[in-house]
Structure 1
């Protein structure tokens, strides 16, 4: 198992933040995307929010690779539709690379 942590910002608008949370409740998530996430090798995913900052914990199986996931995402029309929809709510971090949404975080402390 591997664990990755990411950050991303939402647009600082209470109505958009509420709608983003609505679409991330288990009963409202798109089932095709949940299946796709699992098929890519992600075994667990959690998203937390404070203000308009998001924090995601992603656990994967040992075969997972970001390259394979990117290829799978690009070939999946429903994932592309979801990502375009999420652009309504999300904004890149100021230090994100062009086209980058979720920014991989570096571990700086362990107890």
Structure 2
């Protein structure tokens, strides 16, 4: 029966369709984006070590929402190892606070090892970070060879990662700025690198071979002793 036929008789048993209720707007739930923390290293090379205010670095660190390791020093070089969503915010503040000093930013590791690569994937609850630096030799061809070796290390030299697992390294990152390398080794809190590092080569001769091979690509940064290559940064404590 048509709609017109329904109008011809009030007594008609025709049922008219009920008007649709206006749909209620759905509540929009805003999901806060999950911020991804990124590892990075900032190095400050001060030109007046005697008057360098490293307490200011701690103040900058406290103003950032994230995990900032303690400040470290080797001679007139100071480093901050960052593990926060926006390391550039700290970099900006440091450049503003120390305009007279040289600032180097190690933005992203080109090599990264972690416990997921081990048979035992359990990680220590608390870590200590060891920060070291060295230079690549001043030869672009050899520098590229070094990077190529690290890009294929997990496939072609799996014994190296196995050595890190045996030594209970939690994480190992290598950064590069120009030809300067920055190495961050994370070990369980309370342990020492002197104790753990020998385990990387224990019953693992390929690691010794790797270490010998890498020697030709690395040299000490300016200020190191003759024959000295990797130098470590010591923790600095606030006054």
Aligned match of 1:10: 136
How many residues matched? Answer: 109
Aligned residues of 1:9 and 1:93 also touching (Cα < 8 A) = yes
RMSD of aligned residue pairs (Cα, Å): 2.5
Runs of 4+ in 1 over 6 A off after TM superposition: none
TM-score in terms of structure 2 length? 0.40
CA distance in 2, matches of 1:51, 1:109: 29
- Say yes or no: does 1:69 pair with 2:183: no
Larger Cα-atom Rg: 2
Aligned match of 2:163: 36
Structure 1 residues 80 and 39: alpha-carbon distance in aligned structure 2, compared to 1, 3 A threshold = same
- Say yes or no: does 1:49 pair with 2:197: no
CA distance in 1, matches of 2:237, 2:181: 20
CA distance in 2, matches of 1:37, 1:69: 9
CA distance in 1, matches of 2:200, 2:166: 11
Q: Where does the alignment leave 5 or more consecutive residues of structure 1 unmatched? A: none
Query: Looking at both structures, which has the greater relative contact order when contacts are Cα pairs under 8 Å and sequence separation is at least 6?
Result: 1
Structure 1 residues 96 and 40: alpha-carbon distance in aligned structure 2, compared to 1, 3 A threshold = farther
CA distance in 1, matches of 2:225, 2:168: 25
